[in-house]
Structure 1
Amino acid sequence: MSLLNLQKNDVLDLTKKDPSLNNIVLAAGWDVAKKGLFSFGAADMDLDLSGILLDENDRLTGEDGIIFFGNQRGKGIFLHGDNRTGEGSGDDERVSITLNNLPQNCNKVIFSVNIYQAKERRQDFSKVKNAYVRILNSDKGDTEICRYNLSEDGKNGTSLIFAELYKIGSDWNFRAVGELVQGTLTTLVNKYR
């Protein structure tokens, strides 16, 4: 599969391009603006990648269908730790997904990045730059399938719906979303209860 750079709302049919695709990684990265005259507290931002598993009616598959730093493992999905600083180059957080092992009633996984305690710390995505999400094929040595670079600054949002992985028939598709939300992971999850 060749590398593909997606734009907002672009869709890629993952399993049609590679019917053997089963083990993937969704990796996300971002940079936080360095401390300066008007960026108090920006270097202390803790961003968290999460996954919300939904059924065919866009409802939560169950309480274990929320993957985040407090619940890192679900059926067919696993969050690789919690990067609390965003320091360093490359991916900041990663989620492994085994498509055939997701719960049978799971038709969609929404991936978001949320600022931990954003309201209490008076933080928002205006201090976040160079945000991206990419899909890797784990069965082929973490070969990058596609990437979505968020082209705009985050403004005052405190959560960002990065992307969706969803099923049509037996085919899994990836859609670049890039939707800023004012709220927390709980705010997002409550939309799907």
Structure 2
Amino acid sequence: MPISLQKGQKISLEKEAGGTLTKIVMGLGWDAKKKKSFFGLGSKDQEIDLDASCALFDDQNRPMDIVYFGQLTSRDGSINHTGDNRTGAGDGDDEQIIVDLSRVSAGVKSLIFVVSSFTGQSFAEIENAFCRVINGSNNQELAKYDLSCNGSHTAMVMAKVYRHNNEWKMHAIGENAAGRTFQDLLPAMVRAL
């Protein structure tokens, strides 16, 4: 049974997986709220392009690499982004970042996962937003974090996956931020470390 994470909660991913964990998938999903048409008559679909990104940090909290829609694979080959979904249409994960924990460079201490509205809409225009962590070996959902919240923010620092005593743990951060790209979010990522 997956854990429904609360803001600030920390878990051991390996404990949730029931043993050694070698691969995880961070899934991001969302839907755009229907937009009221002129004079409030009816509604229409809108497209919102949320982007999932993952930054790799060393033990000095310095960024070492980034995986996002413009660089789908980390330099060490351990992290892969499945590609950009520009609308949020469809069920399930709209974007995924796959992490082979066994291949993450030894110098990497933390992975910070962020989401940003590339098209600039605020989270007040988004519904059913979530991130979830899946065991990449058996597709078992380990944890899920609800990102839906009304607000004027255009980005969020979702979660940190980090090494602690030779074990991978996860911290549900859920900090609102502003920005359209991972570059805009680097200060918020560093604060989350």
Task: Say whether 1:53 aligns with 2:56.
Answer: yes
1:115 aligns to what? 117
Where in structure 2 are the equivalents of 1:1-193 lying within 5 Å? 2-17=1-16, 18-37=18-37, 43-61=46-64, 65-74=65-74, 75=76, 76-118=78-120, 123-140=121-138, 142-150=139-147, 152-153=149-150, 155-184=151-180, 185-189=182-186, 192=190
How big is the alpha-carbon RMSD for the aligned residues of Structure 1 and Structure 2?
Answer: 2.1
TM-score, normalised by the number of residues in structure 1: 0.86
* SS of residue paired to 1:105: coil
Structure 1 unaligned blocks of 5 or more: none
Structure 2 unaligned blocks of 5 or more: none
Q: Which amino acid aligns with 1:11?
A: K
Shift of 1:42: 7.3
- 1:31-83 CA-to-partner distances (Å, cap 9, x unmatched) read 1111213899971221111001111121101xxx1110000101210000111
- Give the Cα separation in 2 of the matches to 1:71 and 1:151: 27
TM-score, normalised by the number of residues in structure 2: 0.86
Identity %: 32
- Give the Cα separation in 2 of the matches to 1:55 and 1:11: 20
Shift of 1:15: 2.3
Shift of 1:86: 0.6
How many residue pairs match? The answer is 182
Runs of 4+ in structure 1 off by over 4 angstroms are: 38-42
